[in-house]
Structure formats: structure tokens, C-alpha cells
A and B are shown apart, each in its own frame.
Chain A
Amino acid sequence: MTRTVLLTLQRIEEAVASLAYITVAALLIGDVLGRELLGTSLLGAQKLAIYAAIVASFLGLSLATSAGAHLRPEIFDRLFSARHDRLVNRLSDLFAALFFAGMGMVAIHFVAQSAEFGDRAAIFYFPLWPIQLVMPYAFFSCAFRHLAYALHPELRPQGAPA
């Protein structure tokens, strides 16, 4: 069950990230073609591309977590004997889950402020907070994954750092 949820989540995040980067490339190339061939630039194409890339980057943060790809200093790994590994790893995941959940809360606070103060995109003046929601989302997604690994250590990505 948890495995299915995690996998579905990962597929969705991958699809959105992929789409976002394709959008980035399309906007940038469209701008070049428009300028060099049609003699007209898209005002703000680069700005829109940036927002798409931000979405992809934050999803990348949680995808890297699901792949166990984040770098991890291993200097104190031998502090506990191998038979405690499982327990330490579960504690590690539990802590990471709490930490990312905390970051998620702070991110919600930030987005709420952004909505309150009406932070706007340059050129287009549309409000930024809907895009910024990807930040709390990514942190909570990381938190959820670590929590799942703490509860079901067998789901942990192979050789994964916490």
C-alpha cells in the first residue's frame, strides 16, 4: 500500500518535472526562433521559463530523496555496530521526516506572507504564491517519504542516505 503510494507520487512528480523542463526548453527556443526568424521576441518568455524551472527544481529535491541520491557524509557511520544499523537508519529517517515537515511549515508561512504582500511576477504582474506552493509541497513530500522509510525500512532506496 505505502509502496504504491510512494511509487505513484514519484511517477507524478517525474511527469510534472519532465513537462516543466520541456516547457523551459520550448519557451527559450521559441524566443530565439521568434527573434531570429520572425523578428519579434516574446516579452517575458524567459521569466515564465524561470518559474517552470523552479517547479522542476523543487520536485527534483523530492525526487532525489526518493532515489536516495542526496550526498551524505559517512564519517560517523561506524559509531554503531552493524546490528544497530537498522535502528539508527529508522531514527535517521524519523528525524529527517520531522526536519522536512518543519521546513514545510516554514515554507507555508513564507507563501502565506507572499500572498498577503501580493508578491508579483515581473512584467506580467500575476501573483506568485500559487507557484511558490511547490516549496512546501516538496518539503512535505520529502517528509512523507522519510516517514514511510522509518515505518517501513524495506522501502528505503538501496544504499540510501537518510
Chain B
Amino acid sequence: AEELRMGMAVPEQTPWGVATRKFAEDVASRTNGELTVNIYYNNELGDEQTMARQLARGRLDMAELSNVASSLLVPEYGLLQAPYIFDTSAQADCVTDSGLAAIFGDLFRAAGTVYLAPVDIGHMTIMSKSAILSPEDLEDVKIRTSPTQSDTYFIRAAGGAAVPLGTVDSMPALKTGQVSAVTTPIVVGVAGGYAAAAPQITRTNHGQQIGALLISAKRWVTLSEEHRQALTESARLMADLRPMLRQTENAMLDKVRASGGTVHDLSADELAAWQRFAPSVRAQLIAETGGLAAEKWAAIEAAKAACEVTGG
């Protein structure tokens, strides 16, 4: 039997761990056990940055990467994190499922990897010590942002004092008061224990975190046609992650409410106050990402339009 060594950042018991294990089981059953995917959770094979590079080099066979790490391979993929890129979640799902592979597949291939599937990670929210409902509440608040241009520029544009920090540093920073708020996907934030220090959750949904399931191109070309087929087919299962994730998000939010926290769902007007910073940040992102960013942005817009036509 052939073995594919695969790395990912999160633990086995998370929605991503569960979905990825199902993917691996499906690969095994489709190939009658001839091809096995051996998963290493929890950054065991190195952090995401390391996994991304080793994937291209062929040291690692497969990886499930966040948007931040995927954009080390393809900077243009980072555009997906642009604030309020999609109009509705139905549109987001439609573009994710039908469009991303076509838009970014060639760039990932050029970076030495094969794009098997998008991986939903969730929407960005703000978790804070005292409620942050509008951009005005953000004024002079030291807030952790993910160390990306999209998140950091957005928070800055909205008036916050952005402190870009990696995931590992976020909790200590909250605990010591280095920051009094964080931006984070819900599951990552609540599972990471942020709610103890930042029990106010505002669902700003200001960024879509879409990662990628990737296989090294060097490894891909050594696989038989049937095995490639099996991987591609099984990778579709990653779409099952979405309902699982939303369920987990709701469970997490209930948990926060039960322990005395507050979850703020924003009204359309409140949301609009945040959304007004999106266009300038997008323009800045496209300009600074360079490469094929403008072209890929147009492709994303086209995919959004196509999804509207098909009523997706």
C-alpha cells in the first residue's frame, strides 16, 4: 500500500480533524486500502508555514492549510480574506464549491501543489472584554488581528489599534491585557479559551477564512490515475465540513452564553457600519498583493455573478 503523509494544524477532535479523518477513510475504502492517508494533527510535523513550504518541496505529501498558510504558496489566495467579499452566505458557499478550484488551481500548481478542495474555517468575529458593537467602540482599543494584511488593514480602517499576533500569542496577550480584544473565527476563539478573558462576542463576519486541502505536485505525478481519481472524489467530502462547522459554531456560542458571555448578532444597519470600510481595504489588498491579484479578483466577481444567475 502507498502511504501519504499529511499534516494539519488543529487537533483531531475538531470539526476539521473529524472531516479530514472521514476523507482519509474514504480514500482508503475507494482504493481498497491501496492508498492510505496518514494524518498528523496539531502541528506535529511543523507549523503551517513549514508545512506549506515542505509541501512544495515534496518533503510532505499532503496538508490542510489555513488561508494564511495557503497564501504563502499563492499570495492571491489571501484575497479571499478580504472583508465582506461575499454578499450572502449562499453566494459564498456557491463560489467556494464551484469556483475556487478553477480560479486558483493553476496558481497552486505553479507553486508545486495540487488543489484538492477548499476548507471552510469560518467567519471572523470580534471577541472582547467590553462590547464592541460599532467601529466607534473600537476606537483606541488594542485588538489582536491575525497577522495578515486583510484583517489588520480592516481593523485599522475601522479605527482599532491593531496588534497583529500569531494564534499562539493571542491568549497570553489577552490574559495579560496586552490586547483587550481579538479577531478570530468563532470555533478557534472559543476552543482556544478566549471567552474567559473576552466574553463579548460580536459577529462582525468581516472576513471569510477559506483554507485548502493540498497535495504536493511531486507526489501527485507519481500516483496512478485511479488513485488521483480517488483523492479528488474523496476531497469533495470536505464540503460536509460546512454544516458540521456551523453546528459547532452554534454549540460554542451556546457554551459562551451559558458561562455568562454575550453574543451580539448585528442588525443590517449595524453591519453596514462595518461594511463601509471594505472597498478601500480591498483596493489596498489588491494593490499590495500584486501578481495576478487584480485578474483573480475579477474572476471571483465573475464567479459571484454566475452564482447569482444559477440561483446558487
Known: A117-B57, A125-B289. A43 touches B161 (CB 8 A): no
Q: Which of B68, B75, B142, B164 contacts A43 (CB 8 A)?
A: B164
A8 to B149, CA, bound (A): 42
Task: Give every chain A residue within 8 A of B290 (Cβ-Cβ).
Answer: 125
Contact check: which of B68, B111, B112 meets A122 at CB < 8 Å? B68
**Do the beta carbons of A41 and B57 come within 8 Å of each other?**
no
In the complex, which of the residues A39, A113, A122 contacts B57, with contact meaning CB atoms closer than 8 Å?
A113
Contact (Cβ within 8 A) A120 B57: no
Q: Is A39 a contact partner of B68 (Cβ separation < 8 A)?
A: no
> With a CB–CB cut-off of 8 A, which chain B residues contact A44?
147, 164
Convert A112-125 into 0s and 1s, putting 1 for each residue whose CB lies closer than 8 angstroms to a CB of B: 01100111101101
Q: Give the distance to chain A from B183, nearest Cβ to Cβ, in Å.
A: 13
Chain B interface extent, by class: 20 to 34
Whether A35 pairs with B142 at a CB distance below 8 angstroms is yes
Chain A residue with Cβ nearest B141: A39
Establish whether residues A35 and B161, one from each chain, have CB atoms under 8 Å apart when the complex forms. yes
Which chain B residues (241-295) contact chain A, with CB distance < 8 Å?
289-290
Given contacts A117-B53, A125-B75, contact A43 B152 (CB under 8 A): yes
Q: CB-CB < 8 A to B142: which residues of A? A: 35, 39
Cβ contacts under 8 Å, A118 to chain B: 56, 111
- Determine whether B226 belongs to the interface, using a CB cutoff of 8 Å to chain A: no
Does B140 lie within 8 Å of A39, measured CB to CB? Answer: yes
Tell me if B72 and A120 are in contact (CB < 8 A). Answer: yes
Pairwise interchain contact A40-B156, C-beta atoms closer than 8 A:
yes
In this assembly, does B162 line the interface, its C-beta being within 8 Å of a C-beta of chain A?
Answer: yes
Closest chain A CB from B226 CB (angstroms): 28
Interface size on A, residues (CB 8 A): 16
B contact residues around A39 at 8 Å (CB) = 140, 142, 161
Closest residue of chain A to B110 (Cβ to Cβ) is A118
Kindly provide the distance from the CB of A122 to the nearest chain B CB, expressed in whole angstroms.
6
* A123 proximity list for chain B (CB < 8 A): 147-149, 164
- The complex places the Cα of A120 from the Cα of B72 at a distance, in Å, of 6
Determine which residue in B49, B68, B164, B290 has the highest number of CB atoms from chain A within 10 A of its CB, and name it: B164
Q: Which A118-145 residues have a C-beta within 8 angstroms of B?
A: 118-120, 122-123, 125
What are 28 pairs between A and B in contact, CB < 8 Å?
A: A35-B142, A35-B161, A35-B163, A39-B140, A39-B142, A39-B161, A40-B161, A40-B162, A41-B164, A43-B149, A43-B152, A44-B147, A44-B164, A114-B53, A117-B56, A117-B111, A118-B56, A118-B111, A119-B53, A119-B56, A120-B75, A122-B49, A122-B68, A122-B72, A122-B147, A123-B164, A125-B75, A125-B289
Question: Beyond A43-B147, A113-B57, A119-B56: 11 further Cβ-contacts under 8 Å?
Answer: A35-B163, A39-B161, A40-B156, A41-B162, A44-B147, A44-B164, A117-B112, A120-B72, A122-B68, A123-B147, A125-B289
